[in-house]
Amino acid sequence: MDEERRAYSGQTGEDESREAFDSAETERNEETPVSADADTIPRENTAPVYETFSLYGSEDEKQWTPPQADAAPTVKTKQKKPSFPWKTLGKTAAIAVFGLMIVFSTATSAYLLKDHLSAENTVAQIKETNSSAKEDNVTQTSSSGEELSVTEINAKVASSVVLITGTNMYGSGQGTGMIISDDGYILTNAHVVKDFSQLNVTLNDENQTKYEATMVGYDDTTDLAVIKIDADGLTPVTFGTSADLEVGESVVVIGNPLGEEFSGSVTTGIVSALNRKVEFDDGQVYTYIQTDAAINSGNSGGPLVNMSGQVIGINSAKIDSSIAEGMGFAIPIDIAVPVINDLIENGYVTNRPYIGISGETIDEQYSKYYSLPQGVHVVSIASGSPAANSDLQVDDIITAINDTAVTSIGELNNIKNQYSPGDTVSLTVYRHDTQKTLTIKITLSEMTSDMQ
């Protein structure tokens, strides 16, 4: 909910337009509680933002930041210029560069902090993952069916869309989820729920019934999470198939933009593009359905619905730019279903390879400034991990995996995820103390829920 990732677009076009677009930041559509007084009136923000739950700054920092998603075919990341010498790199550097991320919004004067960003968590490529569950907990149906009106779709789906509220010692936030089983399993985005110690769900029923929710599992790689409430007799959504989608097809978004005050909002649009790749500033790349249906902060985790009333995507992000409008993004349901089943069955997605490091990207600017190779600076090594059982050391710079160059955390994870737990890979490493390049072999293990 609180995680903000900013990226600069590399969209082509006239120089003037490109400069303006490059200043746009990508952000997930996080849930943001806001009130409709004068202080919460949206202000122009030229950066596309990751939709984040709700983070708040001090009273003087109050500023509403709409969630955003990437709209360009690829969005290039922009790393912060280091302001400290190599000798001071370490955990502090990792936190300063990509770990302690604050998203400002309105409502309360608190802020949510992300303690660290692990290289394992910033996986660069969404891939379909085979579930190990013997019997799927959720299934899909063909997306062909009787075409409904928007009014009929809302009548069919709205009761299955819920408001999610999360709180912790730093603040609170609100987002959207959807009921996926009659006994209380609810699907949403990982960034909506993962950083909150207490979760509550409000049903869209006559009494606005409230429940405490428990975390079943979440997956940073796909930005998906499943939570559960103690309830029976609920009406779940119906999953369609995103493979059947065509550009130009009409779609409907149902959710809670800006939180409870505007809960149950319905917007419409079309499928603008399929298989749209969006890269965030940490190097993480997502494959999205692009739509021009309005997606705002608080819509994260809600359904993107076809005209048969079937869920074909999970709303997640949008572009926020002074020169771009109507560029929202949703995770394709075909990618989500195997992950959902794994989360329900195991609490995590199985068969994900794990190295066991936290790191920061040394980009081209950083590399030239400090005369260091581009790659991933190892900030910390998890105890008992494959990295800990190898010769890898803190402050090493990983420059390649199996001779494939690595220039960012995203690339590191993207290449790593082409392998399986149990595979042995060779890391090419620059060791600053000795100024030597080494080859270190690491046997990958499986990433479990406690390793995210």
State the catalytic residues. Answer: 191, 223, 300
Look at residue 181 and give its three-state secondary structure. Answer: coil
Tell me how far apart the alpha carbons of residues 332 and 343 are, in angstroms, rounded to a whole number: 17
Q: In sequence order, what are the residues at sequence separation of 6 or more whose Cβ sits closer than 8 angstroms to the Cβ of residue 381?
A: 356, 357, 387, 388, 392, 393, 394
* Residues paired with 185 in a beta bridge: 228
Look at residue 409 and give its three-state secondary structure. Answer: helix
Burial of 327 (0-12, 13-18, 19+ CB in 10 A): buried
Going from the C-alpha of 197 to that of each of 34, 57, 127, 165, 375, the distances in angstroms are 21, 20, 29, 11, 34
Tell me how far apart the alpha carbons of residues 24 and 440 are, in angstroms, rounded to a whole number: 39
DSSP codes, 319-374: EEBTTB-S-EEEEEHHHHHHHHHHHHHHSS-TT-EE--EEEEEE-HHHHHHHT--S
**End-to-end alpha carbon distance in the chain:** 15
* Residues paired with 305 in a beta bridge: 252, 311
Going from the C-alpha of 264 to that of each of 30, 156, 254, 416, the distances in angstroms are 16, 13, 6, 40
* Residues paired with 319 in a beta bridge: 26
Tell me how far apart the alpha carbons of residues 237 and 185 are, in angstroms, rounded to a whole number: 11
Tell me how far apart the alpha carbons of residues 107 and 209 are, in angstroms, rounded to a whole number: 23
Look at residue 81 and give its three-state secondary structure. Answer: coil
Going from the C-alpha of 102 to that of each of 36, 172, 198, 343, the distances in angstroms are 23, 13, 20, 28
Angle at 435 between CA 431 and CA 437, to 5 degrees: 60
Tell me how far apart the alpha carbons of residues 403 and 247 are, in angstroms, rounded to a whole number: 39
Tell me how far apart the alpha carbons of residues 278 and 299 are, in angstroms, rounded to a whole number: 18
